[in-house]
């Protein structure tokens, strides 16, 4: 059985005008995705942004729940936030996983748009995680989605969540929850 | 095939001390759940709160995206927000559905805790929606979950999303996304 990692990337992303930008981190992304990650047994949740001021904000959110007063509150929020780690770029996170696991993870892109890249279904990924030791690292984009150069470095891509729906604009928080449920959930 | 409705309830809810309270509405609940509802073909998404000031806030959020300037933006957010309707209590929403559909909906509770009530699985609910005309109305709680008196008036309850997980503290935004994916998604 392999470990599952997830990453929320903020650069290089597409904005609504098609330009490549660094998007802003948001508090609700940190919390919601950490809680989903904790529920589904994810090993680490990386929040990846090149902006050092934003990195500090995410560390501070984490610290608020994992240290100091909040530890004594009647809440298990801190357990989820302990899964959060902040990194400057994708390489920093894949290096960390390779060091911890002794092998590079299978790098999985996600996109709400159809892509030419080699697809892997959630069912296949689930089977793979069960039967192989190699870790799996699923990347999620922000803004209007990952730039092609980011998708290109991934090994495979998951198909859009709702192929048949005309409206495919889930929040990244919803998308992460659904993908985790499909890949690890009890169905 | 039956129509699917969802409701986000803010009263009567449990707080972290076990008291019954009205919780606060949040902007991200309105947006995220509307986007998930639109992706999965939900007929209406009711935001239910007895607090008239909070009702006004939710109508205002909806209006910002469905009327005026935002309509011309390069965004489809408004299509999702059009599904949002605000109500003062559960009865107001079930009355509305009965009037629109000519029949009362099957009222489905959700809870992260194990309940004694009659369970229905997501798979059964999916089959039911496909084969029967009676609408299904799934209720989601906020705060620390629905008070028993609310669960008691429902016909059935969905089991917790992750029975085997020791940590079962998903955000309601994640829970709605997962339940919709299980009940309507392409798997």
- What pLDDT was estimated at residue B73? 67
User: Can you list the pairs that A149-152 forms with residues at least 24 positions away whose Cβ atoms lie under 8 Å?
Assistant: A149/A12, A150/A9, A150/A12, A150/A90, A150/A109, A151/A109, A151/A111, A151/A115, A151/A117, A152/A117
According to the model, what pLDDT value does residue B72 have? Answer: 65
The pair phi, psi for residue B120, each rounded to 5°, is -130, 135
pLDDT in tens, B120-139: 999 999 999 999 999 999 99
Residue B38, CA distances (Å) to B32, B43, B181, B185 in order: 10, 8, 12, 12
On the question of a cis peptide bond just before residue A12, with omega within 30 degrees of 0, the verdict is yes
Mutation for A interface: B177, B180, B184, most A CBs within 10 A: B177
Neighboring chain B residues of A75 at a CB cutoff of 8 Å? 16
Residue reference for tokens 């929850």:
A177
Record: contact A79-B186, CB cut-off 8 A? no
**In chain A, what is the greatest distance between 2 CA atoms, to the nearest angstrom?**
50
Rounded to a whole number of angstroms, the distance from the CA of A74 to the nearest CA of chain B is 7
Check if the beta carbon of residue B136 is closer than 8 Å to that of residue B167. no
Strands (DSSP E) contained in chain A are: 4-9, 13-14, 20-21, 44-48, 84-87, 106-110, 136-140, 156-158
* Interface ipTM above 0.90: yes
CATH number, residue A137: 3.40.1280.10
Question: At residue B69, does pLDDT exceed 70?
Answer: no
pLDDT band at A71 (very low <50, low <70, confident <90, very high): low
How far are the Cα atoms of A53, A57, A81, B82, B145 from residue A75, in angstroms, in the given order?
28, 22, 12, 35, 14
Chain A residues close to B182, C-beta within 8 Å: 181, 187
Residue B70 has a pLDDT of: 66
What local confidence, expressed as pLDDT, does residue B76 receive? 85
Instruction: From chain B, pick out residues whose CB is under 8 angstroms from the CB of A76.
Output: 167, 169
Structural tokens at position B124: 């059964």
Contact criterion met (CB < 8 Å) for B167 and A32: no
Answer left, alpha or beta for residue A41, where phi above 0 means left and psi between -120 and 50 means alpha: left
Say which of A38, A178, A187 has its CB closest to residue B177. Answer: A178
pLDDT for residue A72:
66
Interface check A35 vs B, CB under 8 A: yes
Residue B117 binned pLDDT confidence (cut-offs 50, 70, 90): confident
Chains A and B: how many Cβ contacts under 8 Å?
109
Identify the residue whose tokens are 């408004």: B78
Q: pLDDT digit string (tens) for A86-139?
A: 999 999 999 999 999 999 999 999 998 877 788 999 999 999 999 999 999 999
Residues from chain A that touch B75, judged by Cβ atoms under 8 A, are: 16
B38 min Cα distance to partner chain A (Å): 7
Q: Is the pLDDT of residue A69 over 90?
A: no
Question: Between chains, do A165 and B41 touch, taking CB under 8 Å as contact?
Answer: yes
Beta-sheet pairing, A13-14 with A20-21? antiparallel
B104 in A contact zone (CB under 8 Å)? no
Q: What is the tally of structural domains in chain A? A: 1
Q: Which range marks the domain in which residue A46 is found?
A: 4-184
Residues in chain A with CB shorter than 8 Å from the CB of B167 are: 38-39, 76, 79-80
Q: Do A170 and B35 touch (CB under 8 A)?
A: yes
Q: What are the chain A neighbours of B177 within 8 Å (beta carbons)?
A: 170, 173-175, 177-178
What are φ and ψ of residue B177, in 5° steps? -60, -45
- pLDDT one-digit tens code per residue, B126-181: 999 999 999 999 999 999 999 999 999 999 999 999 878 889 899 999 999 999 99
């Amino acid at each position: 059985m392999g470990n599952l990692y997830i990453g929320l990337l903020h650069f290089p992303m597409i904005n609504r005008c098609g330009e490549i930008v660094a998007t802003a981190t948001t508090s609700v992304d940190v919390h919601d995705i950490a809680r989903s990650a904790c529920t589904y047994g994810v090993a680490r949740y990386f929040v990846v942004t090149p902006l050092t001021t934003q990195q500090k904000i995410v560390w501070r959110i984490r610290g608020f729940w994992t240290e100091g007063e909040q530890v004594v509150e009647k809440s298990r929020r801190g357990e989820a936030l302990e899964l959060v780690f902040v990194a400057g770029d994708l390489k920093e996170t894949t290096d960390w996983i390779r060091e911890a696991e002794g092998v590079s993870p299978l790098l999985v892109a996600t996109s709400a748009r159809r892509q030419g890249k080699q697809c892997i279904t959630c069912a296949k990924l689930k089977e793979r995680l069960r039967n192989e030791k190699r870790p799996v690292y699923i990347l999620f984009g922000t803004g209007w989605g990952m730039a092609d150069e980011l998708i290109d470095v991934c090994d495979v891509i998951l198909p859009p969540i709702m192929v048949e729906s005309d409206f495919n604009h889930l929040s990244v928080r919803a998308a992460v929850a659904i993908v985790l449920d499909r890949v690890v959930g009890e169905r």
